[in-house]
Amino acid sequence: MSIALNAFAAANVFSKYLNYLQPVAILLARLYVAWVFFASGLTKLDDWESTLLLFEYEYMVPVLNFVLAAYLATAGEILLPVLLSFGLASRISAIGLSIVNVVAVISLEDIAPAALYGHVIWGLLLALVVIWGAGKLSLDNLIKHKWHKQPVSE
């Protein structure tokens, strides 16, 4: 019985120290997803004529005119990752990028499995931010504590 209690106590201590990694892990997840979408937005800006052609003939964005879809996707991929990186309005930014992500997947008739898996991973990481927020290493957290006049360490 004492071996089981010792194992449980050791697991508790281990878990306590792993908790310190949570803010770093969510920050790294935010930065990774932000970079993926930001790089995509930069690619669209780099060759706008090709972007318009892709949106007209390759991406079948439902409901929207291809020019409007190209502008919205590019703006979302440039602005939302910046907000997500800093952890500012992060849940809203993550929801916006999730929409961009879903539209990107449904807009392609034939998507390679590897590309689809990438979108799934990005979607899961964005879901973490939507559900749990940006974490302690974010402007959202700093603003929340300043607004409630609490120490940031809480």
Q: In the prediction, which pLDDT does 93 show? A: 98
Delimit the domains of the chain by residue range. 22-147
* Token duo for residue 10: 């050791």
The rounded distance, in Å, linking the Cα atoms of 63 and 69 is 9
Q: Do 87 and 135 touch, CB atoms closer than 8 A?
A: yes
Beta carbons of 105 and 60 less than 8 angstroms apart: no
pLDDT band for position 152 (cuts 50, 70, 90)? low
Compute CA distances 136 → 4, 21, 93, 124, whole Å: 34, 11, 17, 20
pTM: 0.88
- Give first-to-last CA distance, the chain, whole Å: 36
Shortest CA distance to 88 belongs to which of 30, 138, 145, 132? Answer: 138
- Give the model confidence (pLDDT) of 17-53 as tens digits: 999 999 999 999 999 999 999 999 999 999 999 999 9
The string of pLDDT tens digits covering residues 109-142 is: 788 999 999 999 999 999 999 999 999 999 999 9
